Amino acid sequence: MKSIAALQAVVTAAPFDGEPSDAELDAIEREMPLIVAELDLLDVEIWMLDRPATVLDERRIRRARNRVLDERRTLTNRVGVAQSGGAA
């Protein structure tokens, strides 16, 4: 029977410092407008849980959903241009 200490060097060969890499931080920064739009949509949906929807409320939800879709489209187009090298 092997002890866990014998396997520890293999498990911890690449120490994880718990911090995101620069590439991960850049990806988060690129996606931040979409994240904010999704949070705004979530806020509207949560606010609507315990009340009947009025015309104004439906408009708020529709605007929040459209903003999320716009941000997704913008992010997708930006990533697509970056992957193609700027040639569209």
Q: Which two tokens stand for residue 71?
A: 């941000």
What pLDDT does residue 13 have?
60
Mean pLDDT within 29-46: 96
Per residue in 50-61, pLDDT tens?
Answer: 999 999 999 999
pLDDT for residue 63 is more than 70 = yes
26 or 15, which is more confident? 26
Burial of 65 (0-12, 13-18, 19+ CB in 10 A): middle
Average of per-residue pLDDT across 35-54: 94
- Going 38 to 56 to 70 to 29, the CA torsion angle's sign is negative
The whole-angstrom separation of Cα 56 and Cα 20 is 41
The mean pLDDT of the chain is 85
Quick check: 41 and 65 in contact, CB under 8 A? yes
The pairs formed by 22-27 with CB atoms below 8 angstroms and a separation of 24 or more are none
